[in-house]
């Protein structure tokens, strides 16, 4: 990888490091990461999320509640269904970057 941070980038990150670290720490739970990845494809109901991720409903509801509490996802109701979607563009950008780094760019840059 040839991307490097400049001194200005580092100064900006130093200022935002606590916020970034907290978001990364929260997203680091595998079930939350899978949920966010699935929601990056578009809004979804709890049933569809359960089927797509394999996370059982009680744990799924708990994770979705935590994501809502942190304003990372939002909901809309349609009749008896509740649809979830990502509410934070930073999360979507991070998911795209993580997918590219860990799933697409499987080159020998790990040295």
Domains of the chain listed by start with CATH number: 14-104 (1.10.10.10)
Residue with tokens 């509640």: 65
105 phi and psi, to 5 degrees? -85, 70
- 6 vs 34, more confident: 34
Rounded CA-CA distance 97/56 in Å is: 27
Give the confidence band of 86 by pLDDT, cuts at 50, 70, 90: very high
Here the tokens at position 104 are 């697409």
Q: What is the pTM of this model?
A: 0.82
pLDDT digit string, tens, across residues 47-60 = 999 999 999 999 99
């Amino acid at each position: 990888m040839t991307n490097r941070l400049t001194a200005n980038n580092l100064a900006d990150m130093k200022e935002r490091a606590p916020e970034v670290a907290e978001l990364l720490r929260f997203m680091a739970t595998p079930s939350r990461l899978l949920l966010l990845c699935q929601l990056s494809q578009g809004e979804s109901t709890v049933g569809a999320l359960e089927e797509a991720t394999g996370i059982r409903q009680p744990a799924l509801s708990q994770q979705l509640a935590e994501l809502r509490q942190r304003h990372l996802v939002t909901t809309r109701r349609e009749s008896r269904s509740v649809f979830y979607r990502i509410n934070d563009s930073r999360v979507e950008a991070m998911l795209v970057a993580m997918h590219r780094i860990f799933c697409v760019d499987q080159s020998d840059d790990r040295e």
